[in-house]
Amino acid sequence: MPFTGEGEALWQYGSGWLAALPAGGMIRCERQQVPGREVAVPGSAGSNPVRINFIPPLHLSFALDASRATGSTLLSLTATSTTSTIMDLSKAHVLVTGGSAGIGRATAKLLIDRGAQVAVCGRNEARLRAVAEEIGALAVPADVSQESEVERLVETVVRDLGGYDVLINNAGIGTFATLLETTAEQMRQIWEINVLGATLVARESARHFVANGGGNIVNVVSTSGQRAGAGGSAYASSKFALAGLTQSWRAELRKHDIRVMQVNPSEVITEFFERSGRTQKDDPTKLQAEDIAHTIASMLELDDRAFITETTVWATNPSS
């Protein structure tokens, strides 16, 4: 009488699994939304590759018919997604940099309201923790321009959220001065956060995403990264750089099922202007941080077979 056993893979690495199974039997993988598909376990002992198709998220188990088993074999299972799926934000695990204010805070709050688990990072620990408690996020203080702090940030998020599949690369600062008045320190500070910091967080996140079969990176750039204005030497150049980095990362990471996207907000009513030494009037006809948060959520919810490479958001008819 055939013996049927239930089991789970012994080791998981990235999108692959290894399982010690009786050779010559049958394996059936059970996964969400797709009927089980049987594949034969090779009869000879050794290491044998078997490719299984699935719709993520994958819940891998197997049933064995070992009636023809001739020994044991080490089976290598490689899971490959062949059918697209829409991201369920209620199951998303998200890291938002610059998450204590403005666009970052609004995006974190919206995703949490949709059911996502979200970690926010920022340099001002007191402010970050207050915002995280208010919106229900995990607070991880970090300066993204410091490599060791970025490594710790990602390690903490992976540990405390059980991994993540979305990076909102939002941290950024700005100062504005004419070329004649721009200092080396201004250029250095802005580029270290807006360019180096974004790169470090993206790199560590991409390593995690590649190892886990896919993910999403949304770089918050600016219309200043499309067309620079007077006084924008430091800030605009950093945003042009981030736009270029977005294109490079997209070209590198698509083959790993990682969507690299870019959003370019025009002027948004946030604390950014005041912090950069400029004035801004509260104007309900101009963009609000929630508008950009909604844009980002919509980009993420697009079916996985497609992605929006870049989108620009303008106010419809601002009063000034």
Give tens-digit pLDDT for 168-190.
Answer: 999 999 999 999 999 999 999 99
Domain of residue 226: give its range.
Answer: 89-313
| Final residue belonging to a domain, choices 65, 81, 97 | 81
Name the 3-class secondary structure at 34: strand
Query: Which pLDDT value is given to residue 72?
Result: 41
What number of CA atoms fall less than 13 Å from residue 67's CA on the CB side? 5
Looking at the structure, tell me whether residues 125 and 182 fall in a common domain.
Answer: yes
Query: Which pLDDT value is given to residue 271?
Result: 80
Q: Report the C-alpha gap between 69 and 318 in whole angstroms.
A: 73
pLDDT, the chain, mean: 81
Of the chain, the end-to-end C-alpha distance in Å amounts to 81
> Does 319 fall in a domain?
no
Phi-psi region of 288 (alpha: psi -120 to 50; beta: other; left: phi over 0): beta
Looking at the structure, tell me whether residues 230 and 143 fall in a common domain.
Answer: yes
Active site (annotated) includes residue 235: yes
| Final residue belonging to a domain, choices 47, 81, 115 | 81
Looking at the structure, tell me whether residues 93 and 77 fall in a common domain.
Answer: no
Q: What is the number of structural domains in the chain?
A: 2
User: Which of these ranges, 5-19, 46-60, 208-222, 303-317, has the smallest mean pLDDT?
Assistant: 5-19
> Does 320 fall in a domain?
no
Looking at the structure, tell me whether residues 70 and 135 fall in a common domain.
Answer: no
Looking at the structure, tell me whether residues 136 and 233 fall in a common domain.
Answer: yes
Looking at the structure, tell me whether residues 62 and 189 fall in a common domain.
Answer: no
pLDDT band at 115 (very low <50, low <70, confident <90, very high): very high
Query: Which pLDDT value is given to residue 84?
Result: 53
| Final residue belonging to a domain, choices 81, 103, 119 | 81
Average pLDDT, stretch 103-121?
Answer: 98
- Out of 17, 209, 235, 240, which one is annotated catalytic? 235
Looking at the structure, tell me whether residues 70 and 184 fall in a common domain.
Answer: no
- Whether residue 246 is predicted with pLDDT greater than 70 in this model: the reply is yes
